[in-house]
Amino acid sequence: MPVSALFCLVVAISDGDTLTARCGAPGAYQQVKVRIAAIDAPERKQAFGQRARQHLAQLCFRQRATLHPVDEDHYGRTVAHVRCGGTDVATAQVRAGLAWVYTPYASEHPTLVRLQQQARASGRGLWAQPRPLAPWSYRHRHQR
C-alpha cells in the first residue's frame, strides 16, 4: 500500500533535485534519499549546478518537508513531490530557472512546462546561457 505523505526534516542537499530527509517519529527516524519528481536540475559540475543546489538548500535545508512518494528510481531513491514550508519545490526550482521539467513527465505537469517557458523567455537562471545543456545530455556526455 503506497504511503500518502511523509512528514520529514530535510538534513542534506545533494544537488538541485536531490535531498536527504529524516522522516518518522522521534527515536524511530528513517533517513530517506529523495529525488524530486518531474524535474531534472543541472549536475553539480555543470553550469548553474551549484546555484540550483543553493536554491534548494534555501528552500528546504533544516526545514520541515512533506513528501508525496510516487516511485523509486534505479539508484534506490524515493521519487517524490516535495513541499518545504508550504512551497512546492519542483515549481520553485523551475520558476527560478534552476531546473528543467523532466521531458518524459512533461505532459503530466503542464504548469511546470508553462513556468519553464516563462523562465526561458525571460533568461532566468540557466536560461541566461546561449545554449544550456540539459542534465540528461550532460550525464550522457560525461559517463565514464
- Which residues carry out catalysis? 35, 43, 77
Residue 16 Cα to chain centre, angstroms: 5
Q: Report whether 124 contacts 37 (CB < 8 A).
A: no
Residue 108: which residues within 8 A CB-CB, separation 6 or more? 38
- Max Cα separation, the chain? 50
